[in-house]
């Protein structure tokens, strides 16, 4: 799989080979590519594609529509799987079941198809047009809770040497010490399914990038770290020989789900299976918050004869949602607790074949930003220091989110788009003096500077927000500025492709 190119860098001034532009000339692209290319672009052949390479080296374009395909593998049934990472056009990270010729969502790569009109800019096309063409991911990995940067997947082919989940898919994760497990479900001719943690912590390194099974059934993991969250080294994972109480299968039914466990269960009630659902928007912006979130009642429960299968009926069952399940004190007959209690099922298609999900598409035209303006809540500075949560700030562009833990208030502002997005506090100072500013933020991956403006004047062109190591690791960036007596506008403004997550602003008179 070929990654798209990032708008963090342009093309070279001298082009060797074929170049495909987005409605702007090669010279314009080099000088000011961000205005025409979007966050991720495909100016050279087959960026954003899965390629088929024959033993003799012949390379054939196989399928377009990818952003950062970090894992490519076949399972024991011969199905091709590809992971892709959250970003522009991807509301959250995904696992795709890939077939030749299908389009999988990110439009930048379409400029290399024979059907695409030369010079037409994919970023100027309404998302609804692409939605009609794209094939949805089989499994979504909720950002911040399940996986932020999924990597390679591989099938457990050990025949039981590695435990009770032979034949199932395992998926790595860069940002945390976690290996995921995927429960595949074939519904009305379509492939979808669930994901859940398999090994969480337990001595694993972060940055698990590649995997391989040894002949003895042990799993070898290789970790890497560059400028993103990660780790390093090789690790060997073996099965203890003991089978924990785990969810072994999750199948969609007409009324809800059939859950199969590794051991017979003790007495369980419907209230112990806590469901909620939500969806991610398909749009040009970077990522998507969880939208339409609501609790879903379990209306009926039936235990199978072997005690391992539970059939659940749900109050609402619709395509285009992630159904998140939390197991509450579900134990085996011998009181053994469930090891992993957090499961997310991606429901694309109902058992009757209904896959209509118009709510997934951004209700805009031209592929533009869905960002709306939120007005700031004016605050009087009465103490020193005084903390101002991001919820008090006005914003245009950044979304207000709470998926990544460790923030101090109700949530944080997430810079998701291009230059010119801003976060602004309006404060009334009792006197004209200099204030020290402490901006609490989190950032995983490189440096994303913001400009500091006060009352419309640029105070610092580039505040250096550096990598904190993880989206749940928060640090303060310290600076200072003069405030006038009375009302002041303190603005953080993006100057690159994006910015950090901002939790709060603390002001202290010097």
| C-alpha–C-alpha distance, residues 399 and 37, integer Å | 22
Q: Residue 65 domain-assigned?
A: yes
CB 169 within 8 A of CB 182: yes
Q: What is the mean pLDDT of the chain?
A: 89
Q: Domain check: are 414 and 298 in the same one?
A: no
Q: Tell me the average pLDDT across 54-67.
A: 95
DSSP, res 36: H
Instruction: Give the Å distances, CA to CA, from 284 to 165, 177, 366.
Output: 37, 30, 10
Q: Domain check: are 235 and 162 in the same one?
A: yes
For the cut 80, the answer to whether the pLDDT of residue 445 exceeds it is: no
CB-facing half-sphere around the CA of 86: CA atoms within 13 A:
23
Q: Residue 364 domain-assigned?
A: no
| C-alpha–C-alpha distance, residues 63 and 49, integer Å | 6
Q: Domain check: are 119 and 173 in the same one?
A: yes
- Tokens 């949530």, residue located: 411
Q: Tell me the average pLDDT across 37-58.
A: 87
At residue 362 the predicted structure's pLDDT band, cuts being 50, 70 and 90, is low
Q: Domain check: are 168 and 226 in the same one?
A: yes
Domain boundary among 306, 323, 358: 358
Q: Residue 84 domain-assigned?
A: yes
Q: Give the model's pLDDT for residue 23.
A: 59
| C-alpha–C-alpha distance, residues 378 and 487, integer Å | 9
DSSP letters along 62-82, please?
Answer: EEE--S---EEEE-TTS-EEE
Q: Residue 367 domain-assigned?
A: no
| C-alpha–C-alpha distance, residues 454 and 473, integer Å | 27
The dihedrals phi and psi of 360, each to the nearest 5 degrees, come to: -75, -20
For the cut 90, the answer to whether the pLDDT of residue 14 exceeds it is: no
Q: Residue 323 domain-assigned?
A: yes
| Among the listed residues 195, 191, 192, 333, the one whose alpha carbon sits nearest the alpha carbon of residue 262 | 333
At residue 232 the predicted structure's pLDDT band, cuts being 50, 70 and 90, is confident
Domain boundary among 327, 358, 389: 358
Tokens of 290: 């969880």
Q: Across 156-240, where does the E strand assignment appear? A: 169-173, 178-187, 190-200, 208-213, 219-223, 233-237
Tokens of 486: 């009375």
| C-alpha–C-alpha distance, residues 412 and 408, integer Å | 9
Q: Give the total number of structural domains in the chain.
A: 2
Domain boundary among 358, 383, 418: 358
For the cut 50, the answer to whether the pLDDT of residue 364 exceeds it is: no
DSSP, res 271: G
Q: Give the model's pLDDT for residue 269.
A: 96
Q: Domain check: are 383 and 260 in the same one?
A: no
Q: Residue 244 domain-assigned?
A: yes
- What CATH number did the domain enclosing 380 receive? 2.60.120.260
Q: Domain check: are 381 and 348 in the same one?
A: no
Q: Residue 430 domain-assigned?
A: yes
Q: Tell me the average pLDDT across 178-185.
A: 97
Q: Give the model's pLDDT for residue 369.
A: 39
Q: Domain check: are 189 and 324 in the same one?
A: yes
User: pLDDT (tens digit, 9 = 90+) per residue, 17-29?
Assistant: 777 666 566 776 6
Q: Domain check: are 331 and 454 in the same one?
A: no
Q: Residue 241 domain-assigned?
A: yes
Beta bridge partners of 53: 59
Tokens of 313: 């009926």
Structural domain span for residue 79:
5-358
Across 195-209, 289-303, 405-419, 428-442, least confident range? 405-419
CB 289 within 8 A of CB 94: no
Q: Domain check: are 384 and 326 in the same one?
A: no
Q: Tell me the average pLDDT across 351-355.
A: 94
Q: Domain check: are 388 and 338 in the same one?
A: no
**Surface-to-core class of residue 268, CB atoms within 10 Å of its CB (0-12 exposed, 13-18 middle, 19+ buried):** middle
CB 95 within 8 A of CB 10: no
Tokens of 216: 């003895």
Q: Domain check: are 96 and 218 in the same one?
A: yes
Q: Domain check: are 347 and 409 in the same one?
A: no
Q: Give the model's pLDDT for residue 497.
A: 59
DSSP letters along 423-475, please?
Answer: EEEEEEESSSEEEEEEEEEE--SS---EEEEETTEEEEEEE-----SSTT--E
Q: Would you tell me how many other CB atoms lie within 10 Å of the CB of residue 135? A: 18
């Amino acid at each position: 799989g070929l990654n798209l190119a990032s708008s963090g860098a342009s093309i070279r001034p001298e082009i060797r080979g074929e170049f495909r532009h987005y409605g702007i000339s090669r010279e314009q692209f080099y000088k000011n590519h961000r205005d025409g290319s979007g966050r991720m672009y495909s100016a050279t052949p087959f960026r954003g594609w899965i390629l088929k390479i024959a033993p003799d080296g012949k390379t054939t374009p196989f399928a377009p529509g990818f952003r950062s395909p970090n894992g490519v593998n076949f399972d024991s049934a011969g199905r091709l799987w590809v992971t892709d990472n959250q970003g522009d056009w991807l509301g959250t990270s995904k696992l795709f079941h890939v077939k030749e010729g299908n389009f999988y969502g990110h439009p930048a790569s379409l400029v290399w198809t024979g059907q695409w009109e030369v010079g037409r800019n994919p970023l100027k096309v309404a998302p609804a047009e692409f939605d009609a063409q794209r094939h949805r991911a089989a499994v979504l990995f909720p950002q911040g809770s399940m996986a932020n940067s999924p990597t390679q997947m591989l099938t457990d082919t050990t025949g039981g040497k590695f435990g009770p989940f032979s034949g199932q898919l395992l998926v790595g994760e860069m940002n945390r010490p976690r290996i995921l497990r995927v429960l595949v479900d074939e519904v009305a001719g379509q492939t979808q399914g669930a994901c859940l943690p398999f090994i969480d912590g337990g001595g694993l390194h972060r940055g698990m990038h590649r995997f391989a099974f040894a002949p003895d059934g042990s799993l070898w993991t290789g970790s890497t770290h560059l400028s993103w969250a990660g780790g390093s080294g090789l690790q060997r994972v073996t099965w203890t020989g003991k089978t924990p109480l785990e969810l072994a299968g999750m199948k969609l039914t007409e009324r809800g789900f059939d859950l199969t466990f590794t051991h017979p269960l003790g007495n369980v009630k419907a209230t112990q299976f806590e469901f909620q659902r939500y969806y991610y928007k398909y749009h040009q912006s970077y990522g998507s918050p969880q939208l339409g979130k609501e609790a879903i009642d379990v209306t009926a429960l039936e235990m199978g004869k072997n005690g391992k299968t539970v059939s659940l009926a749900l109050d609402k069952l619709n395509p285009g949602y992630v159904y998140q399940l939390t197991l509450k004190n579900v134990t085996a007959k011998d009181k053994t607790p469930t090891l992993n209690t957090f499961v997310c099922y991606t429901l694309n298609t109902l058992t009757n074949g209904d896959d209509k999900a118009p709510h997934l598409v951004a209700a805009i035209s031209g592929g533009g930003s869905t960002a709306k303006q939120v007005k700031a809540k004016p605050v009087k500075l009465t103490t020193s220091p005084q903390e101002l949560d991001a919820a008090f700030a006005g914003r245009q562009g950044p979304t207000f989110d709470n998926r990544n833990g460790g923030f101090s208030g109700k949530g944080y502002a997430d810079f998701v788009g291009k230059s010119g997005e801003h976060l602004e506090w309006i404060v009334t100072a009792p006197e004209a003096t200099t204030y020290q500013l402490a901006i609490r933020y989190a950032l995983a991956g490189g440096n994303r500077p913001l400009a500091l403006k006060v009352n419309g004047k640029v105070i610092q062109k580039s505040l250096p927000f550096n990598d904190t190591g993880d989206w749940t690791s928060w640090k303060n960036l310290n600076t200072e500025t003069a405030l006038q007596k009375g009302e002041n506008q303190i603005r953080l403004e993006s100057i690159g492709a994006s910015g950090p997550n901002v939790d709060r602003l603390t002001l202290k008179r010097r």
